[in-house]
Structure 1
């Protein structure tokens, strides 16, 4: 509960912005991922499931809540989405997140295109196989 209180009182008031996007893009480029603004994945957080809905929170290991995180080139959070049960698939959680809506509408990142030969490529996020392939969501 101390962590929850700290997140609610301190971190919830902070607004994460991409004013400093150039160092992130440079960092990912150095790692071999040009024009990348982040990496996304989900992780399971163990919880005491509510008795009346316990079956919805159980996964193959125990009871979990899922945290979806977008991180920069240093592994620091730039977006989080938490609250779905451990039974939910990463792609379903992603499609229901505000991050997805912002990426889909083109409002999450500033407009920056990268040319690869004759192809114009939008700023993208790298992901694992659990996430859908989209013009701005790529598998490394």
Structure 2
């Protein structure tokens, strides 16, 4: 734990950073989504039963876990992390209770860089799955009955959002302790998770090899410790609906060129 605390104190803020804004915007644009700065999601880390409030950490499969929420850019590195939430807490509750959300709302996390899509102004956005709220700064897929244009939009968003799922796969593949039910005090586990995220960024940034065997082991462990399903959030802010519809219409027009 002394080593972990030292890594977090010295390396975390230097390693888990915003990265190059123009490079990241260009990377997501090349993948099909304009003015996008990152993809957000949560993943569950199995733990031993905590000494206090254990029922808050257990999921419907009967094992205990903590949640790591992370924002990832197109190359699979972490921009922002928030570790330690009890396993029963929904992603939609974690996100608005983080410093990331407050900074995004205040316009201090990303530069104020807007583009025009159709007749709509669009700020820099992040991408989430259906469990996140639709907001002008957070785009998510359409849900319910989908026509071809909505499905095409969802496919583009999903392709870009895969970056965060791949990052979690590499994180757990390299640092197998994250699947070993960490035998630590519950207030020490977030420290270890943060260290693994820091080391992940160092490995990814230096092009360290990631083998298929590790990925196969992660998939095996995922089957043993199944991630809990979360319900989709159906509410949306009016400005966000206009932005998403404008993006869908632009995507549809591009597909017919």
TM-score, normalization by structure 1 = 0.90
Count matched residues: 140
Partner SS state of residue 52, structure 2? helix
Aligned in 2, Cα 1:66/1:7: closer, same or farther, shift over 3 Å? farther
SS in 2 for 1:44: strand
For structure 1, which segment, 51-60 or 95-104, has the greater mean C-alpha deviation from structure 2 after superposition?
Answer: 51-60
Q: Does 1:58 align with 2:23?
A: no
SS at 1:94 equivalent? helix
Map of 2:40 onto structure 1: 40
Q: CA deviation at 1:5?
A: 4.0
- Equivalent residue for 1:136? 137
Which of the pair has more CA radius of gyration?
A: 2
Residue of structure 2 equivalent to 1:69: 70
Alignment partners' CA distance in 2, 1:51 and 1:17 = 34
CA positional deviation for 1:13: 4.3
| Corresponding position of 1:21 | 21
In the TM superposition, what is the alpha-carbon distance from 1:77 to its structure 2 partner?
A: 0.1
SS in 2 for 1:23: helix
Q: Post-superposition shift, 1:101?
A: 0.3
Partner Cα separation in structure 1 for residue 44 and residue 103 of structure 2: 24
Q: Which has the higher helix share?
A: 2
Q: TM-score, normalised by structure 2?
A: 0.51
The alpha carbon displacement at 1:15 in A equals: 6.6
1:6 shift after superposition: 5.9
- 3-state DSSP class of the match of 2:53? helix
Structure 2 residue 103 is matched with structure 1 residue 92: no
- The answer to whether the Cα contact below 8 Å between 2:19 and 2:79 also exists between their aligned partners in 1 is no
4+ runs deviating over 2 angstroms: 1-19
Q: d(CA) in 1 for partners of 2:8 and 2:18?
A: 22
Deviation at 1:118? 1.7
Distance 1:130 1:59 in 2: 17
Unaligned runs of 5+ in 2: 141-156, 158-257
| CA–CA separation in structure 2 for the residues paired with 1:91 and 1:3 | 33
| Structure 1 unaligned residues grouped into runs of 5+ | none
Segment drifting more, 48-57 vs 38-47 = 48-57
Could you tell me how far 1:7 is from its partner in structure 2?
4.2
